[in-house]
Structure 1
């Protein structure tokens, strides 16, 4: 920690997933003061020779055991009293991961997934991390209208029902099935994938995400593919 009067730069990461039809965030338990035994976001101080995104990736790897997660900067938090030890400015990031990747995060007493709606409000959360989490949830809700970030929370092949449920979990409300499917199928971001998902009733069609330009930046090269010549016009049964 920097000497008194000299600001210190930090990063904190809001890592979100959808599991069991619930929006969840990864929190870590602090074992030292300040805020001993409080839950906090994965974070770290930025090294002199390190850029912000690299520091955020290091925080996720060290405290959650996750690598290669796509991160976006969220907001800079710099209230004078946000850290009682010293003047610390944090550049918050957020990331979305599918439930399969979320399962790879460290399973220990010091790192756990919590329901954003049901559990986090009851927890002792350290620093201003509850505020940072609120900002992150508001940001992804706003971005859903313009950028297909919800696909980061799904496996590579998914059904329209699974896609709609992810939207509903993030937005916290039910969506009209017919309108949602019409909008998504006309968006140019879906293509039919091989196979079908066997569940209750008839097997459901599978789709995959198709990105153009900046819409594909969040998905890595293996999920960025050329736009199909024709939109995915087939409805899921």
Structure 2
């Protein structure tokens, strides 16, 4: 049976008949992991992709993932696969969703569990390894065609991240200890992919009582130095536990 997956104007056409690519010994058959690693790069939101170096989609881009070893917990598998494929060690991986359409993988029935993390892209030097021949960051709006149902998984993850940032202080840990209101606004703009009204944004942020003024200004900038703020630790932890509503 033939399957095709659309990506913009391009279509990845799966082969008419594919022999199952046998998993290695000691792994769970029919169950896999896929990681969505979102990276903030300045004011851009990017996704980490790897290029398959072997298997039925050799040479194609994909989310970093693979098989789960029999003795591994799920998060341990996600962390291992991410490090083996990209060189990134990141302990904070959260489970996103399970994807299990019957025909999502062409050679046999495979259910995948997706994990996600939001990181600072420039904090990591990528190093492709294991079954990946390459690893790279791509703007979420300018990705190459990806295998299987990975575009669907990515789209779901982007929507989830946009919802989370309106209700949890997600990504705030990517800011330096002391930051400007503009840096905080750019964090929201990168994730939500919208341009925010500066006065309105600042008014809503200050109403949350989340920030404390440092009584300092930026140093060594060509433009007018802005005031620096830090997070109120108690307020931050409370919002993390209870959540909030931030409509922009």
Give the counterpart of 1:133 among 154, 158, 166: 154
In the other structure, the counterpart of 1:100 is 122
Alpha-carbon distance, 1:89 to partner: 0.8
In the alignment, structure 1 residue 115 sits paired with structure 2 residue 115: no
Label 1:204 to 1:12 Cα distance change in 2 as closer, same or farther (>3 A). same
**Contact 2:41-2:122 at 8 Å conserved across structures:** no
For normalisation by structure 2, the TM-score amounts to 0.76
In the alignment, structure 1 residue 47 sits paired with structure 2 residue 72: no
User: What CA distance in whole angstroms lies between the structure 2 residues aligned with 1:100 and 1:69?
Assistant: 17
User: What CA distance in whole angstroms lies between the structure 1 residues aligned with 2:180 and 2:121?
Assistant: 15
Label 1:127 to 1:184 Cα distance change in 2 as closer, same or farther (>3 A). same
**Contact 2:75-2:93 at 8 Å conserved across structures:** yes
User: What CA distance in whole angstroms lies between the structure 2 residues aligned with 1:164 and 1:155?
Assistant: 14
More strand by share: 2
1:52-92 residue CA offsets vs partner (Å, 9 max, x unmatched): 11111112211222223411111101112222232211110
Structure 1 runs of 4+ off > 4 angstroms?
Answer: none
In the other structure, the counterpart of 1:215 is 240
Computing the radius of gyration from Cα coordinates, the structure with the larger value is: 2
Which runs of 5 or more structure 2 residues have no equivalent in the other structure?
A: 1-22, 242-248
Which runs of 5 or more structure 1 residues have no equivalent in the other structure?
A: 217-237
In the other structure, the counterpart of 1:9 is 31
Q: Secondary structure at the match of 2:127?
A: coil
| Count of aligned residue pairs for this structure pair | 210
Label 1:2 to 1:33 Cα distance change in 2 as closer, same or farther (>3 A). closer
